[in-house]
Structure 1
Amino acid sequence: MANEKYKITVTKDHLVFCSGHFISYENSKCERIHGHNYRAKIEIEGKLDENHYVFDFIALKHRTKEITDLLDHRMMLAKNNAFIEVREEGNRVCVKHKEKEWIFPAEDCVILPISNTTAEQLALYIGKSLLESLKKQHNYTPDILRVEVEESFGQSATCELQS
């Protein structure tokens, strides 16, 4: 008997999120604030279920969109960045890198449990969030989950999570 392997892929126009960010790099430097029209691509590998599919495309699109909607039209800030301080103060978020300081309305920010708002770390965040959502809402854990985050045409990063 052949060893069968199955994969499904979801990438749609509604899995695009437009967000602002900046990253620290080379330990002491910090980019200027800018934004991207990000696109998420999800791949799931696993066995076929009783319906003869890996997972329901519609449910996967919905779960992914719930996550990307939280990022859409927000300033993304990394909570665990050693070089950028992020403080929530009432209805605002104060951010500091060396002598530079920014103040954003809290409702316009999303503070992420990552080290930097790079495409790689965003793919990790989306992947972990999606695994949690699939487990909680569908009692499903894929063998392999791949998340690709494209920040501009031809420029993307992928994170692979294995169960």
Structure 2
Amino acid sequence: MNKRVTKIELFKQAMNFSAGHFTIYSESERENLHGHNFYVHAIFEAELMENGITFNYCIYKKIILDICQFLDESVLLPLKSPHLRIEESDEYIYAFFNSDKEKIPFLKRDVKLLPVRNTTVEELSHWFLEQLLVHVEENPEHLIQAIEVKMSFGYGQSGSSYWSKE
């Protein structure tokens, strides 16, 4: 019998987080700081096992929920932006923008520094995907062949990232 591949989609109501951010357009242009409710939708392609299931996808639901909780109620700042410089003091994180003309202070407890170039749905979906891939690589028995992670912050506005074993 040929192997069967199926898709498992995870997009529970609780798979979301609220976060502040600003998109950086260029060396001197950025959005004002604002916030969104971000929603996560993950699609896994995996081989169907003889017992009629793919893998215990509760594991990945928990991972997604944990990441959402980690990001919730924070300001997201990109560590890899060529246009933003980050400095930390005892209590504060400072974001310097526009050739250091703008010095934006944040309390450390309110900020999540992410290894992304920008805090857009495109970059956040890729970062989320990378977090899931750590667990996929640690559990090859799950037979996951592809993953797509979609991030949205409102109807009709989303970005997604895709990984495939091939």
Report if TM-score (shorter chain) is over 0.5. Answer: yes
- SS where residue 73 of structure 2 aligns? coil
Q: Secondary structure at the match of 2:54?
A: coil
Following TM superposition, the consecutive aligned residue runs of length 4 or more in structure 1 with deviations greater than 6 angstroms are none
Aligned residues between the structures: 162
Distance apart, 1:55 and its partner CA: 2.3
The answer (yes or no) to whether the contact 2:39–2:152 under 8 Å persists in 1 is: yes
Judged with a 3 Å threshold, the aligned counterparts in structure 2 of structure 1 residues 103 and 153 are, in CA distance, closer, same or farther, namely: same
Amino acid of the residue matched to residue 22 of structure 1?
Answer: F
Match of 1:147 in 2: 149
Residue segments in structure 1 that go unaligned for 5+ positions in a row: none
Instruction: State yes or no: 1:40 paired with 2:40.
Output: yes
Alignment RMSD (CA, Å) = 1.8
Distance in 2, Cα, partners of 1:82 & 1:141: 38
Is the Cα contact below 8 Å between 1:131 and 1:141 reproduced in 2? no
Deviations 1:1-43, CA, capped at 9 Å, x for gaps: 6663211000011101000000111443111001100100000
Does the aligned pair in 2 maintain the 1:127–1:146 contact within 8 Å? yes
So what's the TM-score if we normalise by structure 1?
A: 0.91
Quick one: structure 1 residues 149 and 63, their matched pair in 2 at CA, closer, same or farther if it must change by over 3 Å? same
1:131 pairs with one of 130, 133, 147:
133
Structure 1 segment 9-48 matched on structure 2, within 5 A: 9-48=9-48
Unaligned 5+ runs, structure 2: none
* Alpha carbons 2:3, 2:47 under 8 Å: kept: no
For residue 63 of structure 1, what is the aligned residue in structure 2?
63
Residue type of the partner of 2:154? S
Distance in 2 of aligned mates of 1:142 and 1:69? 25
1:110 aligns with 2:112: yes
Contact 2:5 2:45 (8 Å CA) reproduced: yes
Instruction: Measure, in 1, the Cα distance between the counterparts of 2:72 and 2:10.
Output: 18
Cα distance, 1:117–1:104 mapped onto 2, change above 3 Å:
same
One-letter amino acid matched to 1:57: Y
TM-score (norm 2): 0.89
Residues of 2 paired with 1:141 and 1:2: CA distance?
Answer: 15
Gap change, CA 1:108 and 1:133, over 3 Å in 2 = farther
